[in-house]
Amino acid sequence: DPEGAESDLRLAVIRTRGGQYVGESKDQFQSRLKQRAFMVKWLQYLEGRRLYQEGDRLWKKRQASRGLALMLAAEKRYRATLKQMIDFDPRWELEWTQLQANIKLLKGAKITPEKISKEEIQSIALGPFKDGLASGGLKR
């Protein structure tokens, strides 16, 4: 189940936090840091995807300004994951292309994004994880 997998990923990021362990070589430590960085990028992608889907849903419900605001927030998260995700998950590029097309369409229609607080955007991005295992406290 996708929520269970995301929960496990969030837990793995939390557990890989910290300095070098006793007995851990420098190479092992660097490898763990790289793995953690990739997991954080994956979480950013999932959060961006959640924002994009909610923005798209709102746009189709005639709430274009709010939908655009969420899509712009999603765009930031997608852009942050570009290098890691473009070769790793083929959905990323398809979603990115569609997100860019939607933003261009809404901006072309002179839609002004609604002002949404950072807290509300983060809450939407985290979805079912807003009450725990949030990536908001993780160093990105």
**pLDDT tens digits for 56-99?**
999 999 999 999 999 999 999 999 998 888 888 888 899 999 99
What's the pLDDT at 73? 96
**Rounded-to-integer distance, Cα 2 and Cα 105, Å:** 31
Residues in the chain, overall count:
140
Confidence bin at 138 (pLDDT 50/70/90): very low
Confidence bin at 122 (pLDDT 50/70/90): very high
Question: Per residue, what are the HEC states of 44-89?
Answer: HHHHHHHHHHHHHHHHHCCCHHHHHHHHHHHHHHHHHCHHHHCCCC
Rounded to two decimals, what is the model's pTM? 0.82
Q: Please, what is the average pLDDT of the chain?
A: 86
Per the CB < 8 A criterion, the answer to whether 70 and 58 are in contact is yes
Does the pLDDT of residue 36 top 50, yes or no?
yes
